[in-house]
Amino acid sequence: MLVRTRKTAARRTARRYTRTEKMTLVMTEVSTYGVAMAADSAVTFPDGRVYVGAQKLLPVPQINAGLSIWGRGSVNKSAADTWLQNFIQNDVTNEMTLLNMAETLANRLNNEFGGPISDRMGIHVGGFDGKITGSNLDQ
C-alpha cells in the first residue's frame, strides 16, 4: 500500500489511468432505503486506450434499478456507456422485472458480440423486484 499526501496520491492515480492498466471499482450497498451504487469513470477500449470520464453507472428508472459496467469500453463500434443508455431508453419497459431486464440485456449483448461476453465485459445489475416489506421504500 502506498501512503502519500493527497496531492501526490492524486497525481499518481491520474498517471495510472493514462497507462493501459485495467481496473474498475464497483460498489453496491443495499439498505432499507434502496440500492446505492458507485464506480470509477475509466473505460478501457479494445486497443488499450483508457478514457476517464465515461458514465459507468447508469440508472434504469423504468424499473428502479441500476447498471454498472467494466471491461471493454465499446460494444462493436459504440462506446459501452452510450450503447447501454440506448438499451435502457429503447428496450427497457415499466412492465419488466429486474430478471427480465437482465436476461434481455444479456441476450442483446451476446448477439452483438456473437457469443457470451464473459471474457470481454462485465455488467453489475442492482435493484429490487417488488416491494421490500418493512422498508423505507414502502413510504
Q: For residue range 49-77, what is the model confidence (pLDDT) as tens digits?
A: 777 888 889 999 999 899 998 877 778 88
Residue 4 covered by a domain: no
The more confidently predicted of residues 126 and 17 is 126
Q: Please tell me whether residue 89 adopts helix, strand or coil conformation.
A: helix
pLDDT at 46: 67
Residue 21 covered by a domain: yes
39 close to 26: Cβ distance less than 8 angstroms: yes
Residue 135 covered by a domain: no
In Å, how far from its chain's centre is CA 56? 4
Q: Is the dihedral of CA 58, 59, 63, 64 positive or negative?
A: positive
Residue 86 covered by a domain: yes
Residue 139 covered by a domain: no
**What pTM was computed for the model?**
0.71
Q: Mean pLDDT for the chain?
A: 76
Half-sphere exposure of 77 toward its Cβ, with a 13 Å CA cutoff?
0
Burial of 101 (0-12, 13-18, 19+ CB in 10 A): buried
- Hey, how many other C-beta atoms are within 10 angstroms of the C-beta on 122? 14
137 close to 35: Cβ distance less than 8 angstroms: no
- Hey, how many other C-beta atoms are within 10 angstroms of the C-beta on 109? 20
Residue 134 covered by a domain: no
For 37-86, give the secondary structure using H, E and C.
Answer: EEECCEEECCCCCEEECCCCEEEEHHHCEEEEEEEECEECCEEHHHHHHH
Residue 74 covered by a domain: yes
Question: What domain range includes position 17?
Answer: 10-129
Domain count, the chain: 1
